[in-house]
Structure 1
Amino acid sequence: MDYHESYEVLGGVIRNLGDGWFFIEDDVHQMIGIKEITQDNEKVIIKYSEKNKVISTTVTVDETMAAEGYTVGASVGKGETWIFIYDKYNNLINPSEYKNAMGNIWIHGIFKR
């Protein structure tokens, strides 16, 4: 089986400096396979081309957000992933409330085309 023809990898690193969440794209970071990032009052929304099946997706905070007590969880679909951010008291927060030049969320997904 040729995995390149059957499966697709999506991923990237997101951050919010105060104007909303965005993908970090620089000499060290690159986003792959994702079309758009938006947010509402309860989640960050990652949009990509519709896939046939979800194989696996992980989202995780980096060391900065972890030290501050934040965690994340994801609801994953064939065309978008919703990322929910929780504070150290396990309360869901509005994604616009978290702003940090060093705090990131890592995203990695494998999908069947």
Structure 2
Amino acid sequence: MEESTKQLAKMLGERIRSLRLEQGLSQEQLGERSGLHTNYIGQIERGEKNLTLETLLKIARSLGTSLEQLLHSVDPLDVQTPLGQIVVMLSERPVADQALVLALMKTVFSWEEEKRK
């Protein structure tokens, strides 16, 4: 693996390990949930494996999270930008609140389009 790829694999493995431990899961339990071998989970967490999207998706689902949340700390959004601030704020809110904000944004953007006509 190239050095930048090794670093990415290591960061992703650390993120997976952190989420697994937060949920009180062993590597064996995560392996059972995701259909992956326990040894493979260990290799992933140590950054020794270059993962496929399919494997990442299995792990994310097994941890009850999205790919975006799984990858967030690996390549975090710049929280100094307005978009970054919006994403951080919304990610901390319940899904119902997120849906409400989305509906509000669509209404505002639609209103802006109509105003321009």
TM-score interval for Structure 1 and Structure 2 normalised by the shorter chain:
under 0.3
Structure showing greater relative contact order (alpha-carbon pairs closer than 8 Å, 6 or more residues apart): 1
More helix by percentage: 2
More strand by percentage: 1
TM-score (norm 2): 0.23
TM-score (norm 1): 0.23
Q: Which has the larger radius of gyration?
A: 2
